[in-house]
Amino acid sequence: MNIVVLAGGLSPERDVSLVSGSLIANALVQNGHRVCLCDVYMGIEYDGDIANLFTDKSDHSYSIATTEPDLDAVKASNGGREALIGVNVLDICAYADVVFLALHGAMGENGSLQATLDNFGIKCYTGSGYAGSLLAMDKAISKQIMTQSGIPNADGIIYDTDVDSVERVAREVGYPCVVKPANCGSSVGVSIVSDEAELTAALDYAKKYENKIVIEKKINGREFSVAVLDGVALPPIEIIPTDGWYDYKNKYQGTTKEVTPAEITEAQTKRISELALAVHKCLCLGGYSRVDFLLNKEDGEFYCLEANTLPGMTPNSLMPQEAAAAGITYNELCEKLVELAYKKGH
């Protein structure tokens, strides 16, 4: 097949996406496909036959810094262009047999890109459709849906920086609490705070990304994740930061221990798997997802943190590790996602 791998973009998770995209492209070439790795924001200028953009060479690589990328600098390098989809991107997608979405956050996960592809008649793309993507990406909406569906999640509020006050947080949530932008991933904009001074700083940090912020009671316990692949829950993985919590740096700089299958009881494995499938279903997700949880040490229950519609796809990312525990290699996982996308579009 001719497969375009879309990565990059103007999300705070741009660098993570470029790493995922590079490794996915390499794996798909190794699987025998012709691949075009395309930065969805940058686009690709070309002369001649569009088919020449697709190659059987697998030499892509990218690395992640310890901090989020400077998106203003990325825009400045493109003359300040605000359009999120670069030159020729949609033509390349229309030509390809499958569009592999290696994007994380923003347009890649909030449903807008999926809706655009649908509107251009491009149906064979990986992951969820526009509706499920929107529901899962917006933590405020997904929190309300999960609560109505009986899925445990932390008590909290939706905070509007334009109208709300820190007094509301103290009154309705209390300390310690977790502050996170409603529509970011990879722990971008997230803070754990213990008093009003820390809360004020955390709100200033979060509103760099948006004004709608989810503030929840902090749950003390172990962190886990469960991927869902084609209607089946993969073995759960436990995430153990060696220092602090699972923030942007710990996620991508190799300072976190990950154990899969997670060392929990059979009953706990059954419970977290059932919850992951329930979250996947209630948010109307597609061929695959990854659902994150905390195991509350006080009541022994799993509380859902969020669902990811386009989880990280480096070989060391959580979902590929879970797949490996189920006997699925990285290249086989990439191939399965291609198959699901092709099947969805035909």
Other residues' Cβ atoms within 10 Å of the Cβ of residue 3: 26
Angle at 294 between CA 194 and CA 274, to 5 degrees: 155
pLDDT tens digit sequence for 99-136 = 999 998 889 999 999 999 999 999 999 999 999 999 99
pLDDT tens digit at each of 346 positions of the chain: 999 999 999 988 888 899 999 999 999 999 999 999 999 999 999 998 999 999 998 888 777 776 778 889 999 989 999 999 999 999 999 999 999 999 988 899 999 999 999 999 999 999 999 999 999 999 999 999 999 999 999 999 999 988 998 999 999 999 999 999 888 755 677 899 999 999 999 999 988 888 889 999 999 999 999 999 999 999 999 999 876 544 444 444 456 899 999 999 999 999 999 999 999 999 999 999 999 999 999 999 999 999 999 999 988 899 999 999 999 999 999 999 999 999 998 8
**Position 66: which residue type?**
T
* Domains contained in the chain, CATH given: 2-126+331-345 (3.40.50.20), 136-152+221-327 (3.30.470.20), 156-217 (3.30.1490.20)
- With CA atoms as reference, report the closest residue to 305 among 172, 146, 198, 169: 146
- DSSP-assigned letters across all residues of 1-32: -EEEEEE--SSTTHHHHHHHHHHHHHHHHHTT
209-253 tens-digit pLDDT: 888 899 999 999 999 999 999 999 999 999 998 765 444 444 444
Q: From the CB of residue 220, how many other CB atoms can be counted at a distance below 10 Å? A: 10
Q: Could you give the CA distance from residue 287 to residue 126 in angstroms, rounded to a whole number?
A: 7
Angle among Cα 228, 234, 235 to the nearest 5 degrees reads 145
Q: What is the pTM of this model?
A: 0.89
CA-CA distance, 155 to 67, in Å (whole number)?
A: 29
